[in-house]
Structure 1
């Protein structure tokens, strides 16, 4: 029964007292829905005893909201109401009032636990619930008491009780949360989502989402729902096949250079084919929602047809030289007073180099009063100006701009040519909607903003950016910001797969989904304006939300939905392979699955190692009874130490080759990053300079690796501290290490023998390292005092 689960949760929340408070804003129904109003009420001023009544107007009073919250999610009585806030959510057809309640458990004045509840202040409907238990010794125990399928039933039972009017309007989303990697440390949570269904079509922006732990407790609940939306019925719409064809026709794959986190040394650009998710109208087939910058917004030609100068060379600027370089590059107002400089040095791990910079400051004066400021950042080793900024109070705010948009654009291009002459033939200005700067429709324009895209042989460099703003009256540069990385690129464009091939690959990553899309419409001064213009005018302070009428319409669309993966990927434009953005390694869309471990005594532990790619799968087999190699064992250990994350190493300059510590584990070796990380963490020694990564591992060596990872290796060397009763102790060198792993039940004896020379199978290694994870969590020390 659901009530039993909630009672369990109440007991759990009371028993585990090391918890921390969560901000109410963290559970706002939608990050892009600002609260229209908010009133905060202190729990001390208006406590649960009813001694003071909150002076706010809501159908559900604060006292009633507290009572409902305690009843619906079984808030333990030890938890007192610390704070309450009444706010408004903006909906498609109006607003709703919401109570946010923070319950805390205190010991000696210190917070030891917290539960957050959010309720509709008009109906009392539960909108959000979350409890946070700070339990550093929490660890996953496999097999789980509650697997995902059972968690789904618990979640549905819970929402049936707390949201009965919604339970028949939702459908379980089997893909959401299913690809989460099982945790190596901490508690296991199943994330489950139930999508809203309207006219037999899922509206995926409305849903009920829950977290259920492996003990069967509901730890988080969110009702993301808008009852004011009007949904249209479309009798004539494209079929799924027709929609897919339209999506393929309108897809715009783009060549882009990206920087994966390369574990084999410095970061280097890799050419990728990017294709963002987008959507089309389900009736007309026209694009309605783009997931990327439209290439048509970028000028078709660079700002120059050839380089206009040389790249900056090696210099070593003094403060005065840096100051003069900035003064010669940008116009600083005559009332500027130099305020001084700061010098910085910073090691850029990604580039493998030290960056030295001067930051220069000026104050703009009107007599004794400071009316503005100016600053610049310049690389002292190259003379490259990274940024410039100038601000002065504008005394002529109501005047129309002296410069047109086109004149300002010309000024911006002139500035970029002057500052980045060597890259002028690779920089493209982004064309903005000129309506944003129409002086007849916008009451105040003091600055024009421009951005430039860096392209190499037609491919956009994702990590580079150039931005310039121009004063609309003086034509002076108000701000300049440039980041052009000095990477080396091929002189000619490399051979890549065709756009059609790229689309075909991306369509295996995306699936086509029929759903509703909420479009926001804005009307300003009687005229409809695009959402982009609304946001621009709002950000510039030209208009306030109250100046604009808005409404939302639901539109039926077909959209591309990405796969739920446990890693970020990109499409290599040269090879056509999927690669990991975290490591740069070739990967695949489907999770590797071993077919030879069903029913194996170490099945779950082997599945974990396969999920984290600690063990390879060949032809669908993980070969559990094969002897584990030294490279595999070290990889397991480092992944365990890093909570499943692969290590990232940086070394040398951007165009150098990383050096290897072991002669037989070069930078191209699959275990290179793991071996270097293990060496840095003192898990292995350099020895004679060779590792033999393909060598077989015995039990004594594995015991030492585990003890080193636990941090007890120095202690283990005092083997006279341990009661060593192994029958074969005289055959061992690492008696203390063996005693520790056996005492901690990470490794076991066989007939009283440790069997130090016995080689370890892949299954045995998987089990040992999973036990290591559990033991390490148990050994974490709590502080002596709170």
Structure 2
């Protein structure tokens, strides 16, 4: 029986833990370096190209004592909290530990490279259920006794019959009270009155209609009456009121005095001195995020980096390394590239072989003392076919020596990335005198870009931006940033970063932001209406500073652990927002760079006027709250508008994930009439992945067809994995007794909907061919959300 075909004449038949540490480090880096100039670089990099910031989740170490702590400069005798006290605190706070096994306690973080000197007790736990087990850590500050991290093992809540779905027993307001009361128990170093709600740290869990209910609360913690970077606490509470995740970030050293030698007015004067604006194209989302629905704006941005200033010395601060920047801040300027006789020529004649891809890197690829490997795959940012090439130093020891990696477009031969890596424990590179000057390295970098970047002389310009090297490294590295332009305007976030070492050898090459024809089309439609003078005035009026403690370090960069430091500084602010933005050149409004979009922020949950008095107003409000629905351009919901099949697929998919970032990039279209750039392409991919189309036999979906009641019944039967039960119920008495039973092609699906209460038969009729309105769909989806905790397989579990 072809349920979906029978349901709506559709050509279809029937026959798969969040690291707050990572998020906070990225946020800190962004606050200090990104959104400040026209030379945007990757999220996990500083303003220096080729300088990689690595963050990693804690893993459960196997050691059961602190023998390895001494090798990292840690001494358990310095701890003010004993390991027994740490264990007792953890057990008293988290009831789940009563069913867990303590596998060991270590002093200091283990299995991380490079080693760090955090004074922390790491308690390693394991939970065994049947043949399955999971391991997790509870970290306790060895100086204060604060719980630093805990998470309820992510594999268990979904298998737990007590998982809370919509509507949850505990409301958000009740959960917030639970979170705040718990914080003072888990982190006694936090004093009353020092916490403030904050969205600066972490990445809140996505709020989904069909997912387990979970609330996230984050608070900044003031020190000496001032806000302080990375001083925060974050708590996740599930819909039953249980603490499922806890993170506390705190500096373990002494804070400097809160008294500044330089006044606030003087700091603002220095910030604004000589500052101007430059017009640029600005994407609404990072260019590496090809799965997002990107929009474009044209706006005026500051013409230079706006770094924090030391409140006592007045020097600008490099927020990655925590060092002073001695040179004054200067506007970024650009130099056009001159064509050469070695310009990039795209490959023609089909997909490259791995040998052909390697041959293109002549002069970059290392010699025969390296072992070569190649693998064909999808590029991480846009899923184009690429060759991943690796050269590993032949060595007798495991994880010794160094390796080199390159990514080459398998169709065109364009070099997308090249990086070198030295394994931990390898013999460090000996410092040698530089064989090339900076001018010679610049020439080499330009040659590289011309040879490997399409239309480089038209698309790129070399910036004079100064970048920061690893201050602990004895190796000379020259770093260059090439800014991408379109129609003489820079494209924010699109750069090519090249690093050349002192010997003249390439050490890294990174391209950021693949642009599509749709992107260029969107930029073509933009024209500035605000003058540069007006924009500059608005920017300067909005700029200010905030006195606060800023922090650097506590993370590894380029295989070097940057020790945590705290300084008193004036931080640039735009309209009292630390995440500096730009002036929209069309509206004149101040906008913030959408570098780390936070789900759920910014959308009004106020019900539009045409839905306020509707019979389904409560259900429509729920779908608006969970971002399944959003008002049209006229500000209305149009609750009585009839839906298409495509609309329904989109709504169901948003019930699973309102951001629709299901995949890392475009996928091969499943249906010929749903191309990769279709607004419902991501939703169709999700339906296919979950098997909600059944066994597809047709190449067309016809998403424009009207959505019928029987089509909804067939879809929900597949979504709930009741298709076999549906077959069994084809002769169900309730369905057969309907006055329009003969018009129903899939009686089993209809019988299921009636028995589950998801749909109803009014006046003894089901009306299988009747189109479904937006309001009717909202009611069905809310009923389905209420059913989630009562079915054997909730929608989010497959």
The answer as to whether partners of 1:234 and 1:556 remain within 8 angstroms in 2 is no
Shift of 1:617: 2.0
C-alpha distance in structure 1 between counterparts of 2:459 and 2:215, whole Å = 48
Alignment of 1:135-534 (within 5 A): 135-136=157-158, 140-163=164-187, 166-173=190-197, 182-198=207-223, 201-203=226-228, 205-226=230-251, 228-233=254-259, 238=264, 254-255=280-281, 259=287, 273=299, 300-304=334-338, 309=343, 311-312=345-346, 314-315=348-349, 326-327=361-362, 330=363, 336-337=367-368, 346=377, 382=412, 384=414, 397=430, 399-418=432-451, 422-431=455-464, 444-445=474-475, 448-456=478-486, 457-460=488-491, 462-463=493-494, 465-472=496-503, 475=504, 496-497=527-528, 498=530, 514=546, 516-518=548-550
Shift of 1:299: 5.1
Tell me the SS of whatever aligns to 1:169: coil
C-alpha distance in structure 1 between counterparts of 2:467 and 2:594, whole Å = 36
C-alpha distance in structure 2 between counterparts of 1:283 and 1:151, whole Å = 39
Question: Which residue is 1:764 aligned to?
Answer: 776
Alignment of 1:505-654 (within 5 A): 514=546, 516-518=548-550, 539=558, 552-560=566-574, 589-591=602-604, 593-596=606-609, 603=617, 605-611=619-625, 613-618=627-632, 620-624=635-639, 628=643, 630-640=645-655, 645=660, 650=666
C-alpha distance in structure 2 between counterparts of 1:420 and 1:183, whole Å = 41
Change (3 A) 1:644 1:774: farther
Structure 2 alignment gaps of length 5 or more = 1-16, 29-52, 68-74, 111-115
C-alpha distance in structure 1 between counterparts of 2:205 and 2:588, whole Å = 26
Matched pairs, number: 699
Residue of 92, 110, 113 corresponding to 1:71: 92
C-alpha distance in structure 2 between counterparts of 1:373 and 1:45, whole Å = 32
Change (3 A) 1:359 1:702: closer
Tell me the SS of whatever aligns to 1:724: helix
C-alpha distance in structure 2 between counterparts of 1:504 and 1:413, whole Å = 33
Change (3 A) 1:179 1:299: same
TM-score by length of 1: 0.67
Cα RMSD of the aligned pairs, angstroms, is: 6.3
Tell me the SS of whatever aligns to 1:152: helix
Tell me the SS of whatever aligns to 2:734: coil
Whichever structure has more strand as a proportion of its residues is 1
Change (3 A) 1:197 1:435: closer
Structure 1 alignment gaps of length 5 or more = 1-20, 47-53, 521-530, 653-657
| Most deviating of 461-470 and 152-161 | 461-470
Tell me the SS of whatever aligns to 1:410: helix
Change (3 A) 1:377 1:184: closer
Shift of 1:375: 8.5
Q: Is the counterpart of residue 707 in structure 1 residue 717 in structure 2?
A: yes
Question: Which residue is 1:17 aligned to?
Answer: none
TM-score by length of 2: 0.66
Shift of 1:67: 2.2
Question: Which residue is 1:118 aligned to?
Answer: 139
Residue of 689, 693, 698 corresponding to 1:683: 693
The answer as to whether partners of 1:297 and 1:430 remain within 8 angstroms in 2 is no
C-alpha distance in structure 1 between counterparts of 2:63 and 2:394, whole Å = 45
Q: Deviations over 1:293-312 (max 9, x none)?
A: 99958652123179975733
Identify the structure with bigger relative contact order (alpha carbons < 8 Å, sequence gap 6+).
2
Shift of 1:739: 0.8
C-alpha distance in structure 2 between counterparts of 1:376 and 1:492, whole Å = 31
Change (3 A) 1:349 1:397: closer
Question: Which residue is 2:108 aligned to?
Answer: 87
